[in-house]
Amino acid sequence: MIAPIILSGGSGTRLWPLSRKLHPKQFIDLVNDTTLFQDTILRLPDNVANPLIICNEDHRFLAAEQLRQIDKESNGIILEPIGKNTAPAIALAALKFINKNEDPLLLVLSADHLIQDTNAFHQSIKIAEELAQNNKLVTFGIVPDKAETGYGYIKADIDNPADYYKIQSFTEKPNEKDAQLYLDSGNYFWNSGMFMFKASIYLQELEKFEPEILASCKKSCRTEYKDKDFIRLNNDEFYQCPEQSVDYAVMEHTEDGVVVPLDANWSDIGSWNALWDAKDKDSNGNVSEGDVILDKVKNTYIYSSNRLISAIGISDLVIVDTQDALLVTDKKYSQNIKHIVNRLKKDARPEADDHRKVFRPWGYYDSIDSNNGFQVKRILVNPGAKLSLQKHQHRAEHWVVVKGVATITRGDDVFVLKENQSTYIPKDKIHRLENQEKIDLEIIEIQTGDYLGEDDIIRLEDDYQRN
């Protein structure tokens, strides 16, 4: 049995401001109408088990909802209390099966990759499957087509063309000179971060080279429990786990590591320049999305989320306009966006982590306007969903229904509001908003008070087990 393991813990800050910590690139429809996370699952071969997802607490409802949108089931969603890189994450997945006396082939995939040639991808999986059945630890090496400095490299023992090669070494992201040398040599591959091996073989090698990681993961799993589709670990034990990538922990040391070449039009979409490269372009080499008007513009990526962008006489730029942030950069500096994100984090600015539109398990809210003492939100509640039963110590709320039918709990009263009807929720009044219909519910919420932060929510009941 092949068990896909989808690693989905990344924050995708190199695609800021569209990708942010609480809604990263794997959950955004960057290339087509489905997200990178959904594409990762949709291109799996037919003969594999349901995928096991590994993500963090903040992304759990995004992962669950996006599975539902494409009508796919999972083998569970393991919630990491803190990111510890790929070696512990894969160990958690392997232990889940070994603890059930199962030993499948783990197909380890990242949730944020673009693979456009699915047939070539499936063919490489078939080659890797036979190798993994024979106790090899397989990684997929991307056949390079340029001297790329944004990827790590795998040096392989290539004498003659073959379906796979023995791994000689792993190399970090090189400078331009070394990247060109790697490309010219013909025996280097880009490191894709995708793997296949038996669960038991991976744990055996991990115990040999990084026993502390395995010990911590075993302790973390001893008291795991199911929370709907989510698998929760012993947080205290996992916090003690060393942080290490699977490359450093196992693949660089094992005697049984091999690389299977993959030539499938792959990209990790690790920068705006990479996304521009992957998208269809007009006759002037431009990618434009949203309401965009161009004149004498070349080789530029322009994204507008909500308003008109016009550009004249520019080239080789990236312009990304979201509802609360605007990015303008030369494409060649698009890898440096992390410097901006680090500055935002240092200044404790919310734009580092979240968008103006914030997704919740019941739908989303969009903060339309705010100033001293008030905030206005547009709230959408999915069919059949409801917010927690809650109250606020510092704010009152006015609700106006603009679409659908709202079932309102306010104190001991339960009543229905339709379009153009409204209600008032005083401070400290217990309340709940619910959509019992089959269409979306939309309301405008006007908050007033001396403090309007999201942490002023006292939840009394919640379908999603939030505090």
Q: What is the mean pLDDT of the chain?
A: 93
Residues 307-324: what's their mean pLDDT? 96
Least confident of 114-118, 295-299, 348-352: 348-352
Residue 17: its pLDDT value, please?
95
The yes-or-no verdict on residue 270 having pLDDT over 90 is: no
CATH number at residue 17: 3.90.550.10
Model confidence pLDDT, tens digit, residues 419-451? 999 999 999 999 999 999 999 999 999 999 999
Q: Which domain holds residue 321?
A: 272-339
| Mean pLDDT computed over 287-315 | 96
Domain assignment of residue 349, yes or no: no
Q: What is the model's pLDDT at position 331? A: 92
Instruction: Let me know whether 179 and 90 are in one domain.
Output: yes
Is 90 exceeded by the pLDDT of residue 223? no
Structural domains of the chain, count: 3
Query: pTM of this prediction?
Result: 0.88
Q: Does residue 56 sit within a domain? A: yes
Residue 348 lies in a domain: no
In this structure, the answer to whether residues 193 and 287 fall within a common structural domain is no
Task: Report pLDDT for 320.
Answer: 97
> Using one digit for the tens of pLDDT, what is the confidence trace for 195-214?
999 999 999 999 999 999 99
- Under the banding of pLDDT at 50, 70 and 90, the label for residue 111 is very high
The reported pLDDT for the residue numbered 186 is 86
Same domain? For 252 and 181 the reply is yes
**Shared domain check, 283 and 259:** no
Q: Does residue 184 share a domain with residue 200?
A: yes
Give the pLDDT band (50/70/90) at residue 354.
Answer: confident
Q: Is residue 170 part of a domain?
A: yes
Same domain, residue pair 289 and 159: no
* Same-domain pairing of 172 and 106: yes
Overall average pLDDT of the 456-467 stretch: 85
Quick one: what percent of the chain has pLDDT higher than 90?
78
Query: Considering the domain boundaries, does residue 15 fall inside one?
Result: yes
User: Over 90: is that where the pLDDT of 261 sits?
Assistant: yes
Given this model, what pLDDT does residue 357 score? Answer: 87
Give mean pLDDT, residues 50-69: 91
Which CATH number characterizes residue 408's domain? 2.60.120.10
Domain boundary among 309, 339, 369: 339
pLDDT tens sequence across 163-188: 999 999 898 888 889 999 988 888 89
User: How large is the average pLDDT for residues 132-143?
Assistant: 96
Residue 229 scores a pLDDT above 90? no
Please indicate, yes or no, if residue 352 is contained in any of the structural domains. Answer: no
Whether residues 107 and 145 fall in one domain: yes
Q: Is 238 among the domain residues?
A: yes
Q: pLDDT tens digits, residue range 150-163?
A: 889 999 988 777 89
Predicted pLDDT of residue 202: 97
Which of residues 339, 370, 390 is at a domain's end? Answer: 339
Residues 53 and 6 in one domain: yes
**Does 329 share its domain with 405?**
no
Q: Tell me if 311 is assigned to some domain.
A: yes
> Which residue, 267, 296, 325, sits at the end of a domain?
267
Query: What percentage of the chain carries pLDDT values higher than 70?
Result: 100
Dump pLDDT digits (tens) for 377-420.
Answer: 999 999 999 999 999 999 999 999 999 999 999 999 999 999 99
Residue 228 pLDDT greater than 80, yes or no: no
pLDDT at 359 over 90: no
Q: Examine the domain organization and report whether 60 and 160 are in the same domain.
A: yes
The mean per-residue pLDDT over the stretch 216-230 comes to 86
| Residue 344: band (very low, low, confident or very high) from pLDDT cuts 50, 70, 90 | very high
Asked if residue 216 and residue 114 are part of one domain, the reply reads: yes
**pLDDT confidence band for 467 (50 / 70 / 90):** low
Helix (H), strand (E), coil (C) string for the chain: CEEEEEECCCCCHHHCCCCECCECHHHCCCCCCCCHHHHHHHCCCCCCCCCEEEEEHHHHHHHHHHHHHCCCCCCCEEEECCCCCHHHHHHHHHHHHHCCCCCCEEEEEECCCEECCHHHHHHHHHHHHHHHHCCCEEEEEECCCCCCCCCCEEEECCCCCCCCEEEEEEECCCCHHHHHHHHHHCCEEEEEEEEEEEHHHHHHHHHHHCHHHHHHHHHHHHCCEEECCEEECCHHHHHCCCCCCHHHHHHCCCCCEEEEEECCCEECCCCHHHHHHHCCCCCCCCEEECCEEEECCECCEEEECCCCEEEECCECEEEEECCCCEEEEEHHHHHHHHHHHHHHHHCCCHHHCCCCEEEECCEEEEEEEEECCEEEEEEEECCCCECCEEECCCEEEEEEEEECCEEEEECCEEEEECCCCEEEECCCCCEEEECCCCCCEEEEEEEEECCCCCCCCEEEECCCCCC
